[in-house]
Amino acid sequence: MSIMILITTLISFLAFGSHAADHSLSLEYYSSSCPTAHQIVRKEMECAITSEPRLAASMLRLHFHDCFVQGCDGSVLLDDTFTLQGEKKASTNVNSIRGFSLVDRIKNKLESECPGVVSCADLLAIAARDAVVLVGGPYWHVPVGRKDSRTASNELATTNLPTSSQGLLTLITKFLYQGLSVTDMVALLGAHTIGLARCESFRDRIYGDFKATTVMDPLSETYLNKLKSVCPATEGTGGENTSAMDYLTPNLFDNSFYQILLRGEGLLNSDQEMYSSLFGIQTKKLVQKYAEDPVAFFQQFSDSMVKMGNITNQDSFETGEVRKNCRFINT
């Protein structure tokens, strides 16, 4: 395990030059060019989440999926065109990311107030923070000043993004590659305290080792039976059905996700691995810590979100732009 992480860390260090923030972000970037930017995003997020609470998790996920591919550069928002293959149809994204209409609405408001000023990448970073706050989570200051890329990478979306079926060492490797520590990983995956997962993402888990990781008391039996009613064992049936990743408080950003892992009832294999894997000595302690101490979780989540948001695409600073429409590069 230690050798594995050492090697991966070295790979991360060598590769991280493409992520390093030579162009520093700033809390004051829009203070004169668009002083109402944060308020505009917040107002639209409030309206959206009031009518559809699920959008909080959707916007948070969009930011995460953006930053893990080419850095936080808005590439995840680009539609396919004749000359550009976007990331939306990558296997890791196609049935996972949503909320693009909300992004369009926010962008239209920003363009009306401050044309050509606020990037789509910054929009996502601010909206992700507001999403968390609006469902009870912590507030953090969002550094801004990102540019939007003129490229996307379907290939990197497929390889860089973690999936629900992957084991702990693979997950750690993918986070380390982005310059994020094991502590960052455990805290950031706490975002699964809100949001839904599709049956296809947890079928193998509930018909596999779910019973092995839980004490299977009456509450666990009831929960498992409910999951099986939502997600049939047969491949190709019920794949679009969904279940909350945090069945205790599905629309509240809190630490109950970690308490569920302590019971061995994590919906996704990749989540439960943090507590139940034989390799999870460090991750298990962190899960226990955050399950017991919501303040510690909120603080680390905030710090890790800023760190993830600082994964920048150096090419976008040199050749990037502020898109007028987040779905298409400027012409």
Q: Is 186 annotated as a binding residue?
A: no
Q: Is 35 annotated as a binding residue?
A: no
Q: Is 75 annotated as a binding residue?
A: yes
Instruction: Quote the longest CA-to-CA distance of the chain.
Output: 60
Q: Is 71 annotated as a binding residue?
A: yes
Cα–Cα dist 190/64, whole Å: 12
Q: Which of 237-240's residues contact partners 24+ apart within 8 Å by CB, and which partners?
A: 238/199, 239/198, 239/199, 239/200, 239/203, 240/95, 240/198, 240/199
Q: Is 193 annotated as a binding residue?
A: yes
The encoded tokens of residue 177 equal 């590659």
Q: Is 249 annotated as a binding residue?
A: yes
Q: Is residue 65 annotated as a catalytic residue, yes or no?
A: yes
Pairing of strands 242-244, 196-198: antiparallel
Cα–Cα dist 246/259, whole Å: 9
Q: Is 271 annotated as a binding residue?
A: no
Q: Is 73 annotated as a binding residue?
A: yes
- Short-list 196, 319, 205, CA closest to 269: 205
- Name the active-site residue from 19, 38, 63, 65: 65
At 196, which helix (H) or strand (E)? Answer: strand 196-198
User: 185 to each of 168, 241, 264, how far by Cα in Å?
Assistant: 10, 27, 19
Q: Is 195 annotated as a binding residue?
A: no
Q: Is 69 annotated as a binding residue?
A: yes
Q: Is 111 annotated as a binding residue?
A: no
Binding residues for Ca(2+): 66, 69, 71, 73, 75, 87, 193, 246, 249, 254
Catalytic residue numbers, as ranges: 65
Pick out the residues of the known binding site for heme b.
192
Binding residues for substrate: 162
